[in-house]
């Protein structure tokens, strides 16, 4: 069994704000990330999959299929978007990178069986680099 990590990028903006809290509470929680007009990042995501090496092809994952899935389910959905205003999943949920990770995991899992009908490889985890010093990692199955 080998794990393959592939990295993808998109640029987006978000605002950290919880409607149920007042201004002072939002400011205490999120500081300048609560700025009313949002701010942005170059997000980098790393998708890790694992599986046995196919003895015929020498590969553990069909990378074309993985790239297609990540592109259609994640990158094209979030690239160049203002997460708060344009994505229904963040209409009532604050688009922290934690919550973005949960969404990305769900979208990959939803498309997995169609992308990999033979059941291989397995999605292992997702990492999101909000900046190169601030990284979020979420396991595919807890």
Q: Name the β-bridge partners of 47.
A: 6, 126
The catalytically annotated residue of 23, 39, 80, 91 is 80
Among 68, 80, 106, 110, binds a copy of itself (CB under 8 A): 80
- Using rule CB under 8 A, residue 11 touches a copy of itself: yes
Cα(140)–Cα(124) distance, rounded to whole angstroms? 5
CB 74 within 8 A of CB 46: no
Among 75, 115, 138, 140, binds a copy of itself (CB under 8 A): 138
Q: In the annotation, is 130 catalytic?
A: yes
Cα(62)–Cα(17) distance, rounded to whole angstroms? 40
CB of 104 to a copy of itself, least distance (A): 12
Q: Applying CB under 8 A, what is the total number of residues that bind a copy of itself?
A: 60
CB 128 within 8 A of CB 136: yes
> Is 70 strand, coil or helix?
helix
Q: Which of 37, 14, 22, 39 is nearest to 91 (CA)?
A: 14
Where does this chain bind a copy of itself (CB under 8 A)?
1-9, 11-14, 16, 18, 20-21, 29, 31-33, 35, 37-42, 46, 53, 56-60, 64, 79-82, 85-86, 93-96, 98-99, 101-102, 131-139, 142
């Amino acid at each position: 069994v080998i794990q393959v990590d592939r990295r993808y990028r998109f640029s987006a903006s978000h605002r950290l704000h919880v409607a149920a809290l007042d201004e002072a509470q939002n400011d205490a929680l999120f500081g300048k990330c609560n700025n009313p007009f949002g701010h942005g990042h170059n997000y980098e995501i790393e998708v890790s999959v694992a599986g046995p090496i196919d003895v015929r092809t020498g590969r553990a994952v069909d990378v074309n299929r993985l790239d297609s899935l990540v592109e259609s389910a994640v990158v094209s959905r979030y690239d160049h978007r203002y997460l708060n205003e344009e994505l229904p999943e963040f209409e009532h949920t604050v688009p922290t990178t934690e919550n973005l990770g949960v969404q990305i995991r769900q979208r990959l899992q939803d498309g997995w069986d169609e992308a990999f009908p033979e059941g291989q490889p397995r999605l292992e985890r997702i990492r999101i680099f909000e900046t190169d010093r601030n990284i979020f990692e979420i396991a595919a199955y807890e």
